Amino acid sequence: MGKIRWSVNKTEVQALRALRGKKLPVSELAAALSKSSSWTSEYVEHLESLGLLEKKRKNNKVFVSIPKTPLGESLSVLISEEPMLNLETLFAGSGLTILPLLLKPGYSARELATRTSLSMRTVKGILPRWRRMGVVLLEDGKYCISYRYKLLSDFLRKYSEHKNVCFLGERFPEAVIVWQWRDEFMFSIEQQIADPDFLPAGLSRLDSINFNLAHTQEYYCYYIGKDTVSEEEALIQALYVDGKNPRIKRHFKKQLNYIDQQKLQKYAGKYGLKTTIKKMVNENG
């Protein structure tokens, strides 16, 4: 995703551990890592691009620390509260590519390989190791983060959100993310776009399948995902973006008898609208 290399190595994870609760000159960080200042400066530049570290110059020295951002704070808490968790093994290599996708409900090994463009050999080589560590569970054919590691899940969620914002910012700086989960997000933009990486969402998608609902530019919503947005998901997205719009609500109720109820409930859960949808279904009789 994007131009940034969204992965870390073991030395970079060790650097983050060394910076917990501290602000160090690059030279002191280099000494703590037993690395040269030039190598350490490269690690610092990379970690800064990931939002995991920040630099500040004071006099003739550059100080580095974990930033006081939601992402940085979640990392600091994880390092402090889970000191026995082997983050070097978890995060290094493809770890930060795969782990955010293991937030509940997770994915199968094949789905992970498809979504990450990694080989099945790589994915299947990593997952058993994480299971032995007790960090990852296998439930109903899907791998997911263990319930025990809430702080890890919190960090991975923040990392994924930061990654999504950076990716969208590189392509459309004026766009605004209105919903996101793991490697998927929906955003609003005041123009129509033609980009194969983004799919029409909400009302734009409903328009494309011949449900003409008048709307303004604020409804030019797009979605990054692997599959075309179904009618059921488009309806849920439209309600998510503007659930008080009477035109959308009327159309939703009109379509209730013609759409897949199982899919509808699935997407209601995905977008956090289960209660809203249940109420609308009951009102519709």
Taking a C-beta distance cutoff of 8 angstroms, is the pair 156, 78 a contact? no
For residue 264, what are the CA distances in angstroms to 23, 42, 206? 49, 48, 15
**Please, where in the chain does CATH 1.10.10.10 lie?**
10-69, 71-149
Name which residue leads in pLDDT, 215 or 131. Answer: 131
Q: Which band of pLDDT confidence, cut at 50, 70 and 90, is reported for residue 196?
A: confident
How far is residue 125 from each of residues 47, 136, 285, measured CA to CA in Å?
A: 26, 13, 51
CB neighbours of residue 77 within 10 Å: 14
The region of weakest confidence among 14-18, 273-277, 279-283 is 279-283
Does pLDDT of 107 surpass 70? yes
pLDDT digits (tens, 9 = 90+) for 22-76: 999 999 999 999 999 899 999 999 999 999 999 998 888 889 999 999 999 999 9
pLDDT digits (tens, 9 = 90+) for 146-189: 999 999 999 999 999 999 999 999 989 999 999 999 989 999 88
Report the amino acid identity of residue 179: W
DSSP string for residues in 175-203:
-EEEEEETTEEEEE-SS----TT-EEEHH
Q: Hey, what CATH topology would domain 10-69 get?
A: Arc Repressor Mutant, subunit A (1.10.10)
The pLDDT of residue 1: 45
pLDDT digits (tens, 9 = 90+) for 238-274: 899 888 888 888 888 888 888 898 999 999 999 999 9
Give residue 214's pLDDT: 61
Closest alpha carbon to 52 in 72, 80, 70, 33: 72
> Is the pLDDT confidence value at 217 over 70?
no
Name the CATH architecture for the domain at 71-149: Orthogonal Bundle (1.10)
Residue 26 in tokens: 């690059």
- What average pLDDT does the chain have? 90
